[in-house]
A = this chain, B = another copy of it.
Amino acid sequence: MKKYVLDLKVTANIKLNDNYVLLKFTTLNDEVLPEMLPGQFAEVRIDGSPNTFLRRPISVNYIDKSKNELWLLIQLVGVGTRKLSEKREGNTVNMVLPLGNTFSNPNPGEKILLIGGGVGTAPMLFLGQSLREKGFEPVFLLGARSSKDVLQVSDFQKNGEVLITTEDGSAGEKGYVTQHSVLIDRHFDRIYTCGPKPMMIAVAAYAKAKGIVCEASLENMMACGIGACLCCVEDTQEGHLCVCKEGPVFNIEKLKWQI
């Protein structure tokens, strides 16, 4: 897929809570946004932030084709994401996109579970929409600290059933995603996951034990985002692979996680 360096214009800045902002972007001259796939990401340049020298990788959260809009869900963790979250309607942001691979296509009829934790729910929305369009009925399992951190629920609900766990029990079941009863009660053929590494490892261990196909989307530190610097590598059965190019999505069988 062809990659672009683009200035995109903010069309909306929606504060979801103290730690999360949803930014919507469109093109400057009404050209159609480049085609993007679920799991892919953008390398976003953060201007006006002396301590943010490198671009920041941010997943495609959603593509609203009808409005020609790209959504990015931003968790405010440091200076870069904070600066980005200050962008207002009309501001432009420079991005390199679309980057990385995508999730594999499920086989017809498969029951699919999408597990997202924290900001790792971001790519799950786009993936869920895409699966829905292809005729699947994805189930979403979203994990968060507490109810206020469960984001974009109504958007998820448009694309499938939504299950929730929170660490404090303030929404859905109490505990971690891997403790949700659905994992005991129901059968899935395929799991896609994105979230904090310990969560993904637990999900992978569950999938492996049950013999379920499982793909995880990794978030290694990146410099270039395009496979040129070899900084973002993950150790795999095939050696060091670039998360930015051969990933971010990997079948867990390929990874060397201790599961």
Contacts and interface: CB of A to CB of B under 8 A. Distances in A.
A49 interface: yes
A49 B47 CA distance: 8
Contacts of A48: 48-50, 83
A70 B132 CA distance: 61
Copy total for this chain: 2
A195 B83 CA distance: 38
A83 B53 CA distance: 18
A124 B243 CA distance: 60
Contacts of A53: 50
A83 B50 CA distance: 13
Nearest to A52: B50
Interface residues of A, number: 5
Describe A's contact surface by its main secondary structure. loop
A91 to B, nearest CB: 12
Contacts of A50: 48-50, 53
Interface string A37-58: 0000000000011100100000
Interface string A162-204: 0000000000000000000000000000000000000000000
Which of A50, A53, A83: most chain B CB closer than 10 A? A50
A11 B50 CA distance: 26
A69 B48 CA distance: 28
Interface in A40-98: 48-50, 53, 83
Most buried by B among A49, A53, A83: A49
A226 B49 CA distance: 27
Contacts of A83: 48
Nearest to A53: B50
A258 B83 CA distance: 50
A53 B53 CA distance: 14
A53 B50 CA distance: 9
A188 to B, nearest CB: 47
7 contacts: A48-B48, A48-B49, A48-B50, A48-B83, A49-B50, A50-B50, A50-B53
When A and B form their complex, which 5 residue pairs have the shortest distance between CB atoms, in order from nearest? A48-B48, A50-B50, A48-B49, A49-B50, A48-B50
